[in-house]
Amino acid sequence: MRVNRTLIVSLILAALLVVPAGALARRLIIGGSTSVLPLAQKLAAAYHKAYPKLATPKVEGGQSDVGISGVASGRFDIGDSSRDPLETDPHGLRFTKIAQDGICVITNKSNALTNMSQQTIVSIFTGSISDWSEVPGAKITGPIDLFDRDGASGTQDAFQHIFLGEELKVSPKATPESSNGLEQSSVGSDQQAIGFVSFAYTGGVNAVGYQGIPCTLRNAKSGQYGGVRNFWMVTKGAPKGATAKFLQWVTSGNKTTKSIINSSWIAIH
């Protein structure tokens, strides 16, 4: 009898697990770029507030390439990308621009460079200059500690395209970090460090001006600052159903989304 009772209880539990699975309205799964991550999280929370009946979309990190391949493989409903689409991306993806963002070159606070020309940035990041004594305006001496982003990062792609041009790549000896946050904390704790992050992560480090223009949100919005890149949300084909609803809300330019995006990014709708 005892065995039978245990069997019955476990069968009921199993049924409970399986049955409601079909009855659920599925949450959206968004994943990808760590630069877009804070924006996507805020948008998701505000979306749930605006439409309380719909579940908050689940937002994950990864990196831009992870977001794109995740959408292609069906793991994510929406992928976040902080770089422009490339020909090598999987076919059939639809990129929707949602905002713009700026990239700042950052140094440690004890090395408060105010400005760097493109030539200097190129020489430093490709490795031709390797000592701070060769950099005009540097406040310290010693070897330069380069920080980069690792393989799948869209910020790295965008940085290379905007600051280094189409041909050059960041020197392979740079230390790769896997997120903006990590880049920010590495540069913040190493006096001789230099790296690049998205706007929203410039707390605690020194943001270096680019070609005479300080790296601030206002300069980026006015178009003066040159290091601006696009944020995309990627879907497999045209967005449908719940995905379409979300994307439509994000790109509609309504008050909520505008105020969220304008807090640390540049609204375009």
Q: What is the 3-state secondary structure (H, E, C) of 58-79?
A: EEECCCHHHHHHHHHHCCCCEE
Q: Looking at beta carbons only, is 141 or 222 nearer to other proteins?
A: 141
Q: Looking at beta carbons only, is 50 or 86 nearer to other proteins?
A: 86
Q: Looking at beta carbons only, is 150 or 213 nearer to other proteins?
A: 150
**Minimum Å distance from CB 162 to other proteins?**
17
d(CA 167, CA 158): 13
Report which of 165, 164, 146 is spatially closest to residue 106, judged by C-alpha positions: 146
**Minimum Å distance from CB 211 to other proteins?**
26
Q: Looking at beta carbons only, is 114 or 244 nearer to other proteins?
A: 244
d(CA 107, CA 185): 11
User: For residue 94, with 0-12 CB atoms within 10 Å meaning exposed, 13-18 middle and 19 or more buried, which class applies?
Assistant: middle
**Minimum Å distance from CB 113 to other proteins?**
19
Q: Looking at beta carbons only, is 13 or 252 nearer to other proteins?
A: 13
**Minimum Å distance from CB 269 to other proteins?**
23
**Minimum Å distance from CB 138 to other proteins?**
14
